[in-house]
Amino acid sequence: MNNFYTTFENFSKKVLNELTGDESLTLTLSAENTFFSRISNAKIRQITNLHQAFVEYKFIKGNKTLSFNLPFIGNDENFLMVLEKIKESRIWIDRLPEDPYLVRPAFFGITKDINDNQLPSNDEMLTNVLDFSGHLDLAGAFSSGDIVRATINSVGQFHWFKTKNYYLDYSLYNNQQKAVKALFAGVNWNAEALKLNLTDSESKLALMNRVSKKIEPGQYRAFLAPSAVSELLGIMNWGGVSMGEHQRGNGSFKDLWENKKRLSPKFSLAEDFSLGMSPRFNDLGEIAESLMPVITKGEFKNFLTSTRTANEYKVETKFSLDSEGMRSPVVATGSLVRENILKELGTGLYISDLHYLSWSDRETARVTGMTRYACFWVENGEIVSPIQDLRFDESLYNIFGSELIDLTNYAETITNTGSYFEREVGGSKTPGILISNFKFTL
């Protein structure tokens, strides 16, 4: 992708020169150069190298807009395909209604953000994985490579973001087919850190050999590991921190916003792009603040607000995505040290992962979901046994509010591993949390 920047810039300017009259256009690029490997029983089962690029074209004429998406190659044939689509758009757009909340292209400058981290070769990284896990039943996926996001428009704006990262998303299985799931990901490779990650998972797997304990429904003291906390942040992105959903009455933090309720003063959440895992610009090229507090010491500070929502409800834009979800959420750490987690938990549940999360009651910020993989019953600071899967139903006002005892003094960076149609950007940085009461219903 060395010459990709110049190719995209020259191609885009050539397309933009074809506009006439009151037409405007924004081009948004998603591209990747990805190495992907599937692993089963600690052996390579599939290797794929994927090179792909797509551009979304947002065409505006007058007060009307439509979009189309095409593969990006950057050659003459590709250019003719785009011209044909623009001609079709001129016909179709006349039949569309006007958009009352239209966001027109604007100039937010020219930026180039390249996180070109030097990783070892894929062979070297995979060799480390297989060498350290050869005695284990490891299944999962290893992926690495470049990801590019860019946007350019007809008023001269041009933003470019490129990053290089890797992830090993894996599970370890015992003879009973019980599993421990883990993620090793980042932008700088550290073989010793990988070994420690696998060793920690292996120690949890040994505990999974014990007979699983059935936990009766009720409220329990609980520790949620960083990966479980990250899942809870994910549910907030389903309208919880969206200004549009709040204005439409579908939000989850109305009482918090109106100071009728508070979260714990120990809980702070921010959108922090210093993680370097996602571009600050959105599909329109609008640039968000590098650091925006969402919740500070239990008080709600800012909703994620797109310019479209701002136009509709006459509020201040935060230049968020149209989905108004967090791209780079970071939760502030606390004072609980790793070595004291089980001691401070005492008797209760150690929750490694959660899944199948959804809102059970949006208005009261109630969330339901299931425990997953390596979750344990703890007595007097000692792990006794794994547990059978449980369903929980609990309010975020309790989890991050009245029942929150402490957060760990360390946080884990969790990279987005989604790869439907394309590799996702973004991720989160979260500590673990200790809760005095966590409600399980089944």
Whether 178 and 224 map to the same domain: the answer is: no
Domain tally, the chain: 2
CB 67 within 8 A of CB 157: no
329 falls within a domain? yes
Domain final residue pick, 172, 203, 234: 203
Q: Domain with 107 in it: what CATH number?
A: 3.30.2290.10
Whether 171 and 233 map to the same domain: the answer is: no
What the block records as the tokens of 440 is 């399980």
- Rounded to whole angstroms, how far apart are CA atoms 161 and 303? 25
Whether 248 and 102 map to the same domain: the answer is: no
CB 367 within 8 A of CB 395: yes
Whether 319 and 422 map to the same domain: the answer is: yes
**What's the Cα-to-Cα distance from 121 to each of 46, 124, 165, 267, 339, rounded to whole Å?**
17, 5, 12, 40, 35
Whether 154 and 237 map to the same domain: the answer is: no
CB 115 within 8 A of CB 187: yes
210 falls within a domain? no
Whether 197 and 242 map to the same domain: the answer is: no
State which residues form the domain around 75. 4-203
Whether 181 and 255 map to the same domain: the answer is: no
Q: What is the torsional sign of CA 374, 358, 280, 142?
A: positive
209 falls within a domain? no
Nearest to 297 by CA among 325, 265, 320: 265
Domain final residue pick, 203, 235, 256: 203
Whether 281 and 374 map to the same domain: the answer is: yes
Placement of tokens 């990279």 in the chain = 415
- CA triplet 10, 16, 22: central angle to 5 degrees? 165
211 falls within a domain? no
Whether 159 and 73 map to the same domain: the answer is: yes
pTM of the model: 0.94
Rounded to a whole number of angstroms, the distance between the first and last alpha carbons of the chain is 51
212 falls within a domain? no
Residues comprising the chain, all counted: 442
213 falls within a domain? no
311 falls within a domain? yes
The tens-digit pLDDT sequence of the chain (442 residues) is 668 999 999 999 999 999 999 999 999 999 999 999 999 999 999 999 999 999 999 999 999 999 999 999 999 999 999 999 999 999 999 999 999 999 999 999 999 999 878 899 999 999 999 999 999 999 999 999 999 999 999 999 999 999 999 999 999 999 988 899 999 998 899 999 999 999 999 999 999 999 999 999 999 999 999 999 999 999 999 999 999 999 999 999 999 999 999 999 999 999 999 988 899 999 999 999 999 999 999 999 999 999 999 999 999 999 999 999 999 999 999 999 999 999 999 999 999 999 999 999 999 999 999 998 899 999 999 999 999 999 999 999 999 999 999 999 999 999 998 888 899 999 999 999 999 999 999 8
Whether 355 and 420 map to the same domain: the answer is: yes
102 falls within a domain? yes
Domain final residue pick, 175, 203, 231: 203
Whether 270 and 394 map to the same domain: the answer is: yes
The string of DSSP letters for 375-401 reads -EEEETTEEEEEB---EEEEEHHIIII
Whether 131 and 229 map to the same domain: the answer is: no
Beta-carbon count within 10 A of 276 CB: 16
- Percent pLDDT > 70 in the chain is 100
CB 389 within 8 A of CB 411: no
Catalogue the long-range contacts made by 1-6 (C-beta closer than 8 Å, 24 or more residues apart). 1/31, 1/33, 1/146, 1/148, 1/162, 4/31, 4/53, 4/148, 5/112, 5/150, 5/160
